[in-house]
Structure 1
């Protein structure tokens, strides 16, 4: 049997997983997959870490697969197709850790009960994250269960970056800017520390651009400010989320349009962003391929907001030594990156268009005062590393370096 750490990301109707083997003092990618349409016409895709996942059989009647059964599909496949696996620890992505959790923790009843109180802060994510935890606790009662929070990386913010200009009692009640995408930012920050130790200790802006999008300012590897706030709606426009919005718009929708809270939630989370502006798609690739003027409008607005947020965050940390692009758009949309950075000489950025066009790791010219990187993110890997650290299984060094197995 092979000792394995599972990284789990449980959604409302899906479970994504990645498996990492503990072997010879290293954490090795083993496999990955996804169970979709839980509770309906469930589908299951899985494959080795080095290849693309393929369709796997789901031997279950319609409507019978819940989160626990979905996790069982993944484990049975791992034992069958990956020469047997012993799951010794499970790491979970939990979107909201509230004001309490600044680092990953072992799951226990008290922690889970506290996390349920944060469901109103992340109603589209938190209940399903916790359902995945409950399923894993039942499936692997002897394995360490480690909770990794998307908000934890931002708990180093100063007060002025976390508060709203509301009466102080609301801040004390938890109404504050939490920031998200923390697991991605932490992974990329660790990678940058390996690639450019000196720059990583300076003033860094990371743009996580994908279906969900945000920008974060770091100093000495610690988050100073982020564009996302109380919820994952704030800041940049996203695939289907609106981004920054005058709160008066919500009041207008309530009072003048007679929309309910549920209708407004659906509008802001699922019908807005790139999809809403273009009326075509939430997918940047489709928008870039379209000749419809509305597609161009959506891209232009996205680019303008990214530029605005980078400029604002640069002011927050007193300039920039490095900018990093990550996420699906950040890693692959060369034209978007060029539009964002094309005339940012005032910020010390001089883009190397040829390097940018081939998605090189460094896309700035040699004489650029600000160095621009493209670094692929890997939140699953970050979860696995945290899980190994917290469970005491490995003495982890950042992001893919050698490990040393701990002994009792």
Structure 2
């Protein structure tokens, strides 16, 4: 079964093509810097000596242009793995916000699409891109079942004391205003990998997903019990363009005293803040370069970024009443040794001790980067949201077939 997984981010598309049940993708790729003239596609097929990598720089005004370019590569004579888009059996889509309407993976129908669209305001950087990816995929892969995997689903195990806000009850019972959490597909995957690595299914873990969007989760016995993002993906850590946690009084001040409209405040906090607001850059590679060149603003931004993560580690260690490991993952978490070093500095009281040399090593495999004497393991585990999505698609199809068989 050919499963094509589409993971549309705010300015990127990650994708993998699986021929299940094999967990090794036939090809994978990344479209970066969508919306810019120097957008880039990196498309990889094969492994080892037979690996082929195609890199292209081109102008991609939107996600539709990006996905169309990817489709051409999938069926190209040079690196293609299919001859026709109709060979795709399933397209699995990452959808950021499922609200309380979706606590599990779902077949995409007009009703499901309508619900996803209703949630645009709660995930303004992602749900519109996810929705567009679905619509484009429906036009291109007309023979495929379209399936949505929701980032919010993994966090549905949070206890009510963690997901409720201290506002009048009617806002939850009538409007469903609560913390939902995000990056659930990634947190689920790396927490399972960490528990397997530790050979401890009941492990107490803090998973730290650091990309353009950033979040953390407290995971015990394989279940999310708290997470840093909330009603929307704006809360929690300092991110590429999002502010993370902010005093709500600032919002009132912006509106009442400085004349901002609610739409302007939303744009400010979601698209113009975070590392972009502090440094003028949202890409950590650019910020790191400026810091190395002596920029005070870049150095301060790195300090603020790491400081917020450390605060959440302390909070979640308390919530978990113990800690077996912290897990770094996603683009920044996997590749930025400076961030990991800053986060783990002066954490001896919690038993977190980083091995400087191991932290500098590069590897795609799950590994420890703590000292031998560290009470808490520091794990670097590459996330694989695409594989997790493919596996959830298979599970949904199998459950659907089993239900049909029992009815007959």
Q: Which bin holds the TM-score, normalised by the shorter protein?
A: 0.7 to 0.9
Which residue pairs with 1:166 in the alignment?
Answer: 167
Q: 1:185 aligns with which of 179, 187, 192?
A: 187
Shift, 1:254, TM fit: 0.3
Q: Distance in 2 between matches of 1:66 and 1:364?
A: 39
Paired position in structure 1 for 2:303: 300
2:26 aligned with 1:30, yes or no?
yes
**TM-score relative to the length of structure 1:** 0.85
Q: Distance in 1 between matches of 2:41 and 2:104?
A: 31
SS in 2 for 1:93: strand
**When the two structures are aligned, how many residues end up with a matched partner?**
384
Match of 1:6? 4
- How far apart are residue 39 of structure 1 and its match? 9.1
The worse-fitting range, judged by mean Cα deviation, of 187-196 and 69-78 is 69-78
Q: Given the superposition, is the C-alpha separation of residues 365 and 30 from structure 1 closer, same or farther in structure 2, using an over 3 Å criterion?
A: same
**Aligned ranges for residues 196-211 of structure 1 at < 5 Å?**
196-198=198-200, 200-211=201-212
Alignment of 1:302-317 (within 5 A): 302-317=305-320
Answer yes or no: is the 8 Å Cα contact 1:33–1:53 preserved in 2.
no
Q: How does 1:5-404 map to 2 (within 5 A)?
A: 5-10=3-8, 15-22=13-20, 25-33=21-29, 45-49=41-45, 50-55=51-56, 67=64, 71-80=67-76, 81-85=79-83, 86-172=87-173, 173-198=175-200, 200-279=201-280, 282-283=283-284, 284-359=287-362, 361-392=367-398
Distance 1:207 1:36 in 2: 22
Distance 1:329 1:38 in 2: 18
**Is residue 98–residue 152 contact of structure 2 (8 Å, CA) maintained in 1?**
yes
What is the alpha-carbon distance in structure 1 between the residues aligned to residue 257 and residue 72 of structure 2?
54
Contact 1:162 1:178 (8 Å CA) reproduced: yes
**Partners in 1 of 2:280 and 2:8 — Cα distance?**
29
Alignment root-mean-square deviation, CA: 2.8
Q: Deviations over 1:106-143 (max 9, x none)?
A: 11222222222222212332122112212222332332
Given that 2:27 and 2:81 are in contact with CA atoms closer than 8 Å, whether structure 1 keeps it comes out as no
Q: Which moved more, 1:340-349 or 1:80-89?
A: 80-89
Q: Check the 8 A contact 1:177/1:229 in 2, yes or no.
A: yes
Report the Cα distance in structure 2 between the residues aligned to 1:331 and 1:36, rounded to whole angstroms: 17
Equivalent-residue separation in structure 1 for 2:57 and 2:310 (angstroms): 43
2: distance between equivalents of 1:255 and 1:193? 49
Segments of 5+ residues of structure 2 without an aligned counterpart are: 46-50, 402-408
Report if aligned partners of 1:4, 1:21 keep a CA contact under 8 Å in 2.
yes
Greater CA drift, 291-300 or 11-20:
11-20
Q: Which blocks of at least 5 consecutive residues in structure 1 are unaligned?
A: 396-408
Deviation at 1:181, TM superposition (A): 0.9
Higher alpha-carbon deviation: 238-247 or 34-43: 34-43
Deviations 1:242-266 (A, max 9, x none): 1100010000000111012222122
Report the counterpart of residue 398 of structure 1 in structure 2: none
Indicate how the Cα distance of structure 1 residues 286 and 275 shifts in structure 2: closer, same or farther if over 3 A, else same: farther
Task: Report deviation, 1:82.
Answer: 2.0
Instruction: Quote the offset at 1:363 in angstroms.
Output: 1.4
CA deviation after TM superposition for structure 1 residue 229, in Å = 0.9
C-alpha distance 287-310 of structure 1, shift in aligned 2 (>3 A): farther
